[in-house]
Structure 1
Amino acid sequence: MSAAGRPLLGVEEEFHVVDLTTRRAAPQVELLLPELDGAEFARELQRSLVETNTPVCETLDELGGHLHRLRRKLESVAEPHGLGIVAAGTVPLVDLTGDDISAGARYEKMQHEYQALVREQHICGAQVHVDVPDRDTAVQVVRRVAPYLHILLAISASSPYWRGNDTGYASYRSMVWSRWPTAGPPAMVETAAEYDAMVDSLIASGTISDPGMLYFDIRPSAHVPTVELRVCDACTEVDDVVLIAGLFRALVCRAREDIEAGVPLPTTGQELLRAASWRAARSGLEGDLVDLVGPSLISPPLLVGQLIDRLRPQLEEQGDWEHVLELSQATLLRGSGAARQRRMFGRRGELVDVVDALLANTQGRLLRIEPPVEAPLARELLAEYAPGAYDEAVSPAGTVLPQYGWMFRTLERLGPRGMVAAESALETEQRARGVTFGPPEEHRLFPLDLVPRIVSAEDWARLTDGLAQRVRALELFLRDVYGDRRIVRDGVIPATVVDNAPGRHRNGEIVPQDVVRIAVAGIDLVRDSADHWLVLEDNLRVPSGIGYSIMSRRLVRSVMSDLEPPTGVVGLEDVPGRLRAALLSATETGTPGHDEVALLSSGPTDSAFFEHELLARQMGVPVVTPRDLQVTDDGVFLVSEGGRRRLSALYRRMDEKDLMTSKGADLRPIGRALAVAVSRGNVALLNALGNGIADDKLVYAYVPDMITYYLDEEPLLDSVPTYPCVDPERRAEVLDRLSELVLKPVDGYGGAGIVIGPHAERSELTEVEKQIRAEPAGWVAQDMVALSTHPTFTGRRLEPRAVDLRAFVFQSQYGAHAHLDVVPAALSRVAPPGSLIVNSSRGGGAKDTWILR
């Protein structure tokens, strides 16, 4: 313990010695050791490895300084011999000859006893020591810290390649290490005496020869009064080692506080600890990790963030809070070491590039290899690929566009067979997680394609501004049209358009004028060229897709570990929190129960019920149905076995008509009572009742006029040219051009009733002509837009499929001002073959969407 009361700490780092000519592991450590200080440098089991030991340190800055110093010293000694130093769990190019074991009786005995296990030990770890007052405390600390070790492993994961191949793991070192008989979670003992008795038994059994051969993920040190962390890969970045050391020290401090407070030991079983470590080794920071509270799978940024929040008191006490927070944010942004290695390999498909990057990054130097401008990639997957008028990833000549080059190098390595295997794994993951869409009797998996779509930072910036502008105008329209109707009185929109809108509902008139009506907007966009996006449709009632976007990212990452997003992809982990903040903004902050929010669903019969449960779980709120609610003069209450609790806000995810006719907990119709509660301000219902007036196909035609009228601005995003058939002149033009236009029923949703003129049979056009003549107010027509296409896997190869983009805008109310948040959880929807209709209910699918920073 330091004079300032901080537990002291130190780090042991293991490094690969690499031949700078061949980039292969080189059993030449004997050339280096005579020139190195024996107190800080040591040989390892393999002659291609070397270990450094920092002095005992008090601060993280001091620790980082020593780590950099020791790495520089190693490089300065190695380079004159044509050797380099790599900090990573494994080095990609290595020969397992079995002849490269370091001299010494202990190592020779291990080679004889453990055979192949010893030959495989071309692996490197980073061990962190934190001091403790005695061995009884050490044993207790070990048990209490063990449930968090998989998070530290994920941060360190840096060993995807093994003997020239990608293993599919982020930390394959963990898989090699786990073969030792004493590797894995710590023993379930509680005192030093029990621990020592266990060690004696293992030695007596002949399994190990000394206490140093206990290779638990965490253990009391065999030589010094410390607790030793052993689960982590060697880290290419010094900052990652410092981050892990800071978190580990804080975990030790918290465990000691729990011991003093008499907090019981955790009861997590070793089998679950092993499972959590395996998942971390498989995924690194690029796939879901195990939250042992539950247990459940959650995203790494969320789990890391929760850990840091939990450790904040200890980090602040050590003076490490700001340092660890900054390092964690940087690490999550750049991704795991394994992901960075795969991205480097994807540039040219050469493992020597990976080794060069590891050599440079070990010393803190950044090495970039620029991709070629265009390359004939993925020939087998793109066989017979015929790009449409505008394909987002493939040029008219059939070459992959530069922004997709590194992605298609990965797809090329997978090939059709690898893609089929990934598709099968994807379906297995979806079934395990219950990722469905559609009526419950169908049990249909949510259709998800394996090839992500990229949206550039420049495109997203333009879309963000345009979407925010559009939602501002639509919000003002809703307040106006259920109030003074100025836009009608001033002749901007005909009264018949408003009065006959299918989504118009008298409940919209009782919503208080000062509340946000559009808490969540889902705006559908298409593009017909590289730099031209258009709004296709506005969804302001109960737009779905946010949760499917979040889950799509997780699923694709889990089954396509080779296909890591570039560093600059915007994460989705904070989207549920941003949604919750938008909902809470509608409540009176500071009043008791203001944060009691629930997601209102019709239940398992809803086609998007999976999403309802996912979003509610991520926001930390319950899913309720009308049968769970009781409405009184005092407000809206959630009724459960535990009693009643008043709700301040309901996130509405069920149809307005269904809600109005549903029965509450007292078996009486709840709709009218709920509407009265909304009108009195007793509960916020989001999205508001009556929003449908603003999102039908006919009102859509007037949104550009709304923007000009309410905001005095020109629209930033184009709309598809739309012709209301209720207008006699426009109707005549539509009837004359039926075979050229897209014809849509005003009250149609989910793609129902749409007739695409250029693709329709003569009989279809004749029938729709009759319907337009009979009920012109029920139809609009739009110019045909050549939707962009995107490569989509079809079981044998990639084919171009039409895509759109559903973007989500959250709106919060803070005083007199509304805040608009265009979130990055955008969902790319994919049309079936030969179709331009992307809706899931009409056979469409979806893609993970990578929005670049």
Structure 2
Amino acid sequence: MASLSIDQRDRLHRNDVRAFTVGVEEEFVLIDPATGRPSLTSTAVAAAETDIEVQLELSQCQIETCTPVCASIEAVHREVRRARGAIIDAAARSGSLPLAVGVPIWGPPAGSITDTPRYQRMAERFGALVQQVTCGCHVHVCVPERDLAVQVSNHLRRWLPTLLALTANSPIADGIDTGHASWRHMLWERWPSAGPPPYFRSAAHYDDIVAGLAEDGQILDPGMVYWDVRLSDHLPTIEIRISDVPATVVETTLLASLARALVITSVAAIGRGHLAVPVARTRLRSACRSAARAGLASTRFPTAVAGRRHALARLLRHVRPALEESGDYEFTSDTLAAVLAGGNGAVRQRGALLAGGPANVVDVLSRLTVEGCGADDSQWAR
């Protein structure tokens, strides 16, 4: 995606949905299948021969897969399936198993930081912050014009709590229920450059804030800008990164569909001269914490849950024209209804914990991670 053809640029200017290509990155925890404990095997897994793009992460018990650029949501589904299948096979050759979970059920041993110069510099600079293990899902959508991309970011900000509640998949840490549907979010926001992005006036304003973070020693480089929405520092994309890694292939595809439709809808609004209404970062942080705590199902916070479900209905209405134009409305609507009815990863983890303890949670997550990987392409939307 480093360069765009004249045809692609023309499609973007016409707000043609085919121009809004998508790429998805998923992070996984590697575990020992016999014990369920984190397995420090990422280097071996990454070195295994596969036909997918794999990246090392901060901890040796993490691995990331990256899809190719996809022109459709059907292609996203196919590539996420393929990547999960490939990383499961690669991990098996190293005696480990990848789990699609926002935080490990059991913490890794001390000294698990990946031995690369950058990660070692991060450990030296940020101390105990680097000891956390968190796994997210990042959706890249093509928006090559940076001044347009920052305006899209402004439009996306208000939907961040809704996307987080939908994808929450990390209620359990150290074998117990944390009381949060997304414990990953609570850990992740401790980074000084994490959380909702500021409201930007321009790409220059964005760059000034990033430069300030570097000057203050809050980041080593632009890759450490951990805002929930950010401009990629090496691709012509806007990156939506609020979400836990979803439990299943189809939930990741749902997230990609909603994220892409939000970007398309935002670009259309900007083209009509509609700027996003500013929302204070303190208010957004509070809303994201509420979403992280309550998720989609909670007996303790029923008002918050009801609000999130209403917000998801509003989100679907908001992006429906974009989804209908791309042909993804039926898939997105049906899949969203299924997640609301059956529960997201956090709901299923808690059910598994009550039914059989932490070992049962690991078993359930291992099944969910691979669920759908062998499905026929013709059934992608079901």
Q: TM-score, normalised by structure 1?
A: 0.41
Q: How does 1:759-838 map to 2 (within 5 A)?
A: none
Name the structure 2 match of 1:167. Answer: 178
Cα separation, partners in 2 of 1:266 and 1:25, compared to 1, 3 Å: same
In 1, the alpha carbon distance for the partners of 2:300 and 2:67 equals 31
Find 2:366's aligned residue among 359, 370, 387: 359
Report the Cα offset of residue 234 of structure 1.
0.7
Q: Which of 14, 17, 40 pairs up with 2:27?
A: 14
Q: Does 1:108 align with 2:107?
A: no
Q: Confirm whether residue 312 of structure 1 aligns to residue 320 of structure 2.
A: yes
Write the distance in 1 (CA, Å) between the matches of 2:304 and 2:218. Answer: 35
Is 1:212 the counterpart of 2:200? The answer is no
Matching of residue 322 in structure 1 with residue 330 in structure 2: yes
Q: Give yes or no for the alignment of 1:339 onto 2:347.
A: yes
The Cα of 1:38 is off from its aligned counterpart by: 8.0
Letter in 1 for 2:358: L
CA contact (8 A) 1:91 1:355 kept: no
1:690-701 to structure 2, matched below 5 A, reads none
What amino acid is the match of 2:309?
P
User: Conserved in 1, the CA contact under 8 Å of 2:105 and 2:172?
Assistant: yes
Q: List aligned pairs for 1:37-56, cutoff 5 A.
A: 37=50, 40-56=53-69
Q: Tell me the distance in 2 between the aligned counterparts of 1:146 and 1:96.
A: 36
Tell me: higher relative CO, structure 1 or 2? Use CA pairs within 8 A at least 6 residues apart.
2
The answer on whether the counterparts of 2:23 and 2:141 sit within 8 Å (CA) in structure 1 is: yes
Paired AA for residue 109 in structure 1: R
Q: Which amino acid aligns with 1:318?
A: S
Q: Distance in 1 between matches of 2:88 and 2:139?
A: 22
- Contact residue 41 and residue 50 of structure 1 kept, 8 A: yes
Residue aligned with 1:27, SS: coil
- Please report how far the alpha carbon of residue 95 of structure 1 lies from its aligned counterpart in structure 2 after TM superposition: 2.9
1:270 aligns with 2:271: no
Letter in 1 for 2:122: M
Aligned residue pair count: 359
1:467 maps to what in 2?
A: none
Q: Which has the larger radius of gyration?
A: 1
Cα drift, residue 186 of structure 1 = 0.4
Aligned pair in 2 of structure 1 residues 283, 36: CA closer, same or farther (>3 Å)? Answer: farther
C-alpha RMSD of matched pairs (Å): 2.1
Q: Distance in 1 between matches of 2:336 and 2:47?
A: 38
| Residue 264 of structure 1: how far off its partner (Å) | 2.8
Other structure's SS at 2:243 match: strand
Distance 1:288 1:325, change over 3 A: farther
Structure 1 counterpart of 2:106: 93
Distance 1:12 1:36, change over 3 A: farther
Q: Retained in 2: the 8 A contact 1:218–1:228?
A: yes
Would the aligned equivalents of 1:289 and 1:299 in 2 still touch at CA under 8 Å? no
Inter-CA distance 217–313: structure 2 relative to 1 (3 Å threshold): same
The answer to whether 1:285 aligns with 2:296 is: yes
Query: 1:531 corresponds to which residue?
Result: none
Structure 1 residues 44 and 236: alpha-carbon distance in aligned structure 2, compared to 1, 3 A threshold: same
| Deviation readout 1:240-276 (Å, 9 max, x if unpaired) | 1111111111111111111111113212111111111
Q: 1:345, 1:55 → 2: CA distance?
A: 35
- The answer to whether residue 153 in structure 2 is matched with residue 142 in structure 1 is yes
Any conservation in 1 of the 2:248–2:372 contact (CA below 8 Å)?
Answer: no
Checking the alignment, whether the CA contact within 8 Å between 1:25 and 1:48 is kept in structure 2 is yes
CA distance in 2, matches of 1:65, 1:352: 30
Partner Cα distance (1:93, 1:103) in 2:
21
Structure 1: distance between partners of 2:340 and 2:17: 30
Which AA in structure 2 matches 1:362? T
Paired residues for 1:424-463 under 5 Å: none
Residue type of the partner of 1:361?
Answer: L
Give distance in 2, aligned partners of 1:276 and 1:289: 16
How does the TM-score come out when normalised to structure 2?
0.90
Whether the 8 Å CA contact 1:13–1:52 is kept in 2: the answer is: yes
- Preserved contact between residue 288 and residue 299 of structure 1 (Cα < 8 Å): no
Q: 1:66 aligned to 79, 83, 92, which one?
A: 79
Output the amino acid matched with 1:303.
A
Cα distance in 1 between the residues matched to 2:49 and 2:181: 32
- The code of the aligned residue for 1:210 comes to D
The residue type paired with residue 332 of structure 1 is L
CA distance in 1, matches of 2:275, 2:263: 15
CA distance in 2, matches of 1:310, 1:253: 11
CA offset digits 1:153-193 (Å, max 9, x no partner): 11110001112221010000000001000111102222111
Partner of 2:272: 261
Does the aligned pair in 1 maintain the 2:247–2:344 contact within 8 Å? Answer: no
Deviations 1:431-451 (A, max 9, x none): xxxxxxxxxxxxxxxxxxxxx
SS of the counterpart of 1:52? strand
**Aligned-partner SS, 1:115:** helix
Task: Please say if 1:231 is aligned against 2:238.
Answer: no
Q: Match for 2:363: what amino acid?
A: D
Deviation at 1:37, TM superposition (A): 4.2
* Residue identity in the other structure for 2:156: V
Q: Residues 289 and 192 of structure 1: is their aligned pair in 2 closer, same or farther, counting only changes over 3 Å?
A: farther
Distance 2:293 2:74 in 1: 31
Spell out, residue by residue over 1:447-484, the C-alpha distance to the aligned partner (whole angstroms, 9 max, x if none): xxxxxxxxxxxxxxxxxxxxxxxxxxxxxxxxxxxxxx
User: What secondary structure sits across from 2:194 in the alignment?
Assistant: coil
Residue-by-residue CA offset, 1:565-616 (whole Å, 9 max, x unaligned): xxxxxxxxxxxxxxxxxxxxxxxxxxxxxxxxxxxxxxxxxxxxxxxxxxxx
| CA positional deviation for 1:135 | 0.5
